[in-house]
Chain A
Amino acid sequence: NAGVMQNPRHLVRRRGQEARLRCSPMKGHSHVYWYRQLPEEGLKFMVYLQKENIIDESGMPKERFSAEFPKEGPSILRIQQVVRGDSAAYFCASSPDIAKNIQYFGAGTRLSVL
């Protein structure tokens, strides 16, 4: 049973470009969460999605950031017009249902903005 898969592991973008981060949850998991880890800081919640629905996006910056979890395929975190301050590790987690609470994490995508 493969774990949470994120790709790419490393992503380099120039200022103004778009970044697309992908997350495939564990098999049987329909709940996906995105977190951001800035240098020297803890993980910060961004967004929680179920299949085709955004449930909680209260941690997501209001502009340039969006997330989706389509019926088929991985969840995508999209950052438009990246700036240097977006450089961080972005982690995805999944859980089988909300009641169990345990979120299993992927290895993260390290985004570097030049």
Chain B
Amino acid sequence: EDKVVQSPLSLVVHEGDTVTLNCSYEVTNFRSLLWYKQEKKAPTFLFMLTSSGIEKKSGRLSSILDKKELFSILNITATQTGDSAVYLCAGKETSGSRLTFGEGTQLTVNP
């Protein structure tokens, strides 16, 4: 059975800190790894990673995938209170359509 594990499960930081969120996966016929941000509404798409070692960047957020070690990290620099959310990682296999999600990391950024 496919499995995605995220760590830490929760994290509390102060504004301006840099955080690293971890995601390890065991997905049969792995194709891509996706990151979402979930506030009290729809999970919002952040990144999709397919190739190993290529960093994707969007503002203060960046992410990279290691297909040899089967993990991905999401970095957030200079955190702001608006970054407070649950960050979800999901793996997708080549065939089929389902996303296998981890439990998420609850990030709280205090002023």
Q: How far is the CA of A103 from the CA of B43 in the complex (A)?
A: 10
Interface secondary structure of B, over-half rule? strand
Identify which of A31, A98, A102, A106 contacts B45 (C-beta below 8 A).
A102
Query: Are B97 and A44 interface neighbours, CB within 8 A?
Result: no
Q: How far is the CA of A102 from the CA of B46 in the complex (A)?
A: 10
Query: Are B98 and A101 interface neighbours, CB within 8 A?
Result: no
Q: How far is the CA of A96 from the CA of B43 in the complex (A)?
A: 17
Number of residues of chain A lying within 8 A (CB) of chain B = 25
Number of residues of chain B lying within 8 A (CB) of chain A = 23
Q: How far is the CA of A35 from the CA of B92 in the complex (A)?
A: 14
Identify which of B96, B99, B100, B104 contacts A103 (C-beta below 8 A).
B99
Query: Are A102 and B48 interface neighbours, CB within 8 A?
Result: yes
- Across the A-B interface, the 3 shortest Cβ-Cβ residue pairs: A45-B98, A42-B101, A43-B101
Interface residues of A (CB under 8 A from B): 3-4, 31, 33, 35, 41-45, 48, 55-56, 58-59, 91, 98, 101-108
